[in-house]
Amino acid sequence: MKNNKKILISGIVLLVFYVIAWYCIEVKNVEVTETFWALLPSLIAIVLALITKEVYSSLFIGILTGALFWGKFHPVAVLNHVFQDGIVHVVSDSWNVGILVFLVILGMMVQLMNRTGGSLAFGRWATTHIKGRVGAQLATILLGVLIFIDDYFNCLTVGSVMRPVTDKQKISREKLSYLIDATAAPVCIIAPISSWAAAVAGFVQGENGMSLFLKAIPYNFYALLTILTMVLIVTMKISFGPMKKYENDALTDEYWANKNYVGAEDTSLKVNHNGRVIDMIVPIILLIALCTVGMIYTGGFFKGETFIDAFANSDASVGLVLGSACALIITIIFYLLRGVISFDDAMDCLPEGFKQMVPAILILTFAWSLKAMTDNLGAAPYVAGIVEGSAAGLQAFLPCIIFLIAIGLSFATGTSWGTFGILIPIVVNCFQNTDYNLMIISISACMAGAVCGDHCSPISDTTIMSSAGAECEHINHVSTQLPYALTVAAVSALTYIAAGFIRNAWVSLVIGVILTVLVLLCIKYTRTPSKVED
């Protein structure tokens, strides 16, 4: 009832806003392209999602808002823009289709691992070898750090492997989602051999992109401090914000007994209770190895390119599809030879895996469509103009300013790659021939801010897939993760101010580490402990 009241009030406010927007755009001919209006569709979607706790309708309203602005409230133009230029366009894009296929294949492999009893066996093994809640969370972080090739692959693989372990220790799915999300993009953005490094290198013109990426790693304060923060909150047993409630609830039977909970076990599926740990380990190793091969194949490794250059030139979408498809085929053959599943049951897992990924696919499709709306309205040039305008003065504060702008753009659009794709070329042009060291710091600030905004945004594909990997309600994941991400963001912003004056990566990083420890100690000792800390 309370949520219905929020929805009603939101609907009334939105209707009033549309009337005002119609008057400004249609009657007064206010220009909406390359202005603040271009960011409003994403901001509306984000605010609605946080208020109503319902992501599908919020995203669609954001898409509709962008179409209304672009089509100037003309019904036919708006309808065409929503579907033809929006949804149909993004689902026919080859890159996006590749990511969706990759998602589906991973869903199928998860179903196969569950049906053969591999996940169950790993859970039994982990119960005896991974002790306590702290051990389970540290194991999740370690696995996330080790899978640094690609954030999509990281989210779903870590979720499927560690979910049985964290469930055994009664760690909330919300906490698992945070650990997955915080070891996805933050790890990939500081890993030289990753799809992210390849993307960043490709955005740098007139310089050695990979060399700049390597030099920027020590300045990527948000990524480095996020990893440190995860370890500290786990070992110091700190829970704050909405996360504390879910962590307390996870200690009760009611949390796990809720049949409507997205992670509830499907008892209609047959599970082989004689499965072994190898039935989970082999598919995971196959996925990692073959996805790596698939990515360097698309980058020309087998045509003479070096391993690093092949990663820099790789097409992650195609490479992940090729690698995961081969891994799926070999996994099915492996299971059939071991006799842990029949051919009919293996084939039954394929549509079940597809169905498991439908919510993530729907959210991703809407998020991509929303990004298309903001792109058409010129959100990127608007933000680029702000950055270029601020480059003339306050140079010591510029890394912090760029970091905050990158957060805002990434949060509003839900894309980190798109954000540093916009900002990095601007930074290179501004400082390439004037201040090389400041250029390195500012490039890192672009990447760090893009990851931070992506980490906080409910319409980010990485955030969505972290929810899918942990099988957690998406809005729960967003609301519980936000205080943790914003805490690190605040420390990172102060650290970038220090870096702008000091111009030394390691001294600045030490300052950031000290600030992070002090902030977490203050949080730990100035609030009521949760049950998990007793």
pLDDT of residue 30: 86
* Highest mean pLDDT (candidates 117-126, 173-182, 308-317): 173-182
Tokens of 463: 């955030």
Kindly report, residue by residue over 351-392, the tens digit of the pLDDT.
988 887 787 788 778 878 887 888 888 876 776 666 666 555
Least confident of 167-181, 287-301, 427-441, 454-468: 427-441
> Rg (Cα) of the chain, in Å, rounded?
23
* Cα 132 to Cα 136: distance, rounded to the nearest angstrom: 6
pLDDT of residue 263: 41
* Cα 444 to Cα 451: distance, rounded to the nearest angstrom: 11
Q: Nearest 5 degrees, angle CA 45-CA 46-CA 50?
A: 115
pLDDT of residue 289: 86
Position 203 pLDDT exceeds 70: no
Query: Between the CA atoms of 312, 318, 319 and 323, what dihedral angle is there, to the nearest 10 degrees?
Result: 180
**Cβ partners under 8 Å of residue 105, min gap 6:** 321, 324, 325, 327, 328, 353
Which residue's entry shows tokens 């390119």? 305
Q: How confident is the model at residue 519 (pLDDT cuts 50, 70, 90)?
A: very high
* Cα 253 to Cα 240: distance, rounded to the nearest angstrom: 22
Least confident of 159-163, 185-189, 428-432: 428-432
Position 262 pLDDT exceeds 50: no
